[in-house]
Amino acid sequence: VRSFLLGDTQLDIDRKFYGDDILVERAIVDLLGDQGLMLVGEPGTAKSMLSELLAAAISGRSNLTVQGSAGTTEDHIRYGWNYALLIADGPSERALIPSPVFEGMRSGRIVRIEEITRCPPEIQDTLISILSEKVIAIPELGEDRATFAAPGFNVIATANLRDRGVHEMSSALKRRFNFETVMPIMDPRLERELISSQLEQRLARAEVKADMSEEVLDLLVTTFQDLRSGKTRDGAPVPRPDAVMSTAEAVNVAHAAAMDAIYFGVGQIAGSHVARQLTGVVLKDNAEDVRKLGAYVDHVVKERSRKSKAWKEMLAAFKAQKSIS
């Protein structure tokens, strides 16, 4: 499982998850026990990707998934009924519609529950007995009818830290999970590698080509790392926007900048393309972030533009935008 996620040169397996290798090892160990695994973190930190990769590596499939929302019902966790068959034949195995959790228990596979804090509390509580007793009773089919979890069954759930107030989990449910926090990628080298790889894949799917130099890639990663951490790589403090400056957003900016360069340029991604796409990412959560981004441009970007062509292009593009200048 570790080799599948983190890569193995001897087995010729590419790395699929970029981040904390120790976190991956802890997650694997957590799933070896009886408790479920809860992945929490800021939006865009690849929690869903990690849960999907873990499920695929352990169970051979990752599509036994419940997407948490206000519309999630008990049928999504336990089972439902084909009402035409139910009316015609009464309760039967044929009329029963298994949920992803039910199917995972029956087949001994990993089940994923995305955005669990978006589920109503009464639906979350349905999981408590399932995780504790590893059984789903089916009283409609008889007093003693139940499905017991086969070996290999477990649950991986995800939750965004910013959504903690949507539907807070009960203490009883929390005790059924081992919690692991997925942090943003802090290693610039890993983040560059991931952005470059993801951009290459997206452009290949679109059947287009664009060139991003190492200088522009470094500019993109450095900007995201600065704004995410609230300080430059030299340790100087910078205003930190409320927007989530995740690696996922950095990939989106790189992709949008590439499209800008292809269709409104000559296919060479410049600092100006990054600046134009970055603005929307930073300013989408809080109007006050305009001032914070402006301060970053006036002090950090302006200083770096004296030594770098890419940063100079970025400064000019920012100054040309009325929302920033």
The 10s digit of each residue's pLDDT in 195-225 is 999 999 999 999 999 999 999 999 999 999 9
Is the distance from CB of 206 to CB of 262 less than 8 angstroms? no
Residue 131, H or E segment: helix 121-133
User: What is the Cα–Cα distance from 183 to 245, expressed in whole angstroms?
Assistant: 12
pLDDT reported for residue 95: 95
For residues 324 and 67, the model is more confident at 67
Helix (H) or strand (E) holding 193: helix 188-206
Please, which pLDDT band fits residue 287 given cuts at 50, 70 and 90? confident
Other residues' Cβ atoms within 10 Å of the Cβ of residue 10: 6
Euclidean distance between CA atoms 285 and 203, whole angstroms? 28
Predicted TM-score (pTM) of the model is 0.87
Question: Strands (DSSP E) along the chain, which ranges?
Answer: 36-41, 65-67, 79-81, 96-98, 110-114, 135-137, 146-148, 154-160, 177-181, 211-212, 268-269
Q: Is residue 285's pLDDT more than 90? A: no
The proportion of the chain whose per-residue pLDDT surpasses 90, expressed as a percent, equals 83
SS3 188: helix
- pLDDT tens-digit series, residues 38-81: 999 988 899 999 999 999 999 999 999 999 998 999 999 999 99
d(CA 192, CA 215): 11
Q: How confident is the model at residue 288 (pLDDT cuts 50, 70, 90)?
A: confident
Query: Per-residue confidence at 164, pLDDT binned at 50, 70, 90?
Result: low
Please give the pLDDT value at position 310.
96
Given this model, what pLDDT does residue 264 score? 95
Give the chain's mean pLDDT: 93
Summarize the confidence of residues 124-131 as an average pLDDT: 92
Say how far apart CA 286 and CA 75 lie, in whole Å: 38
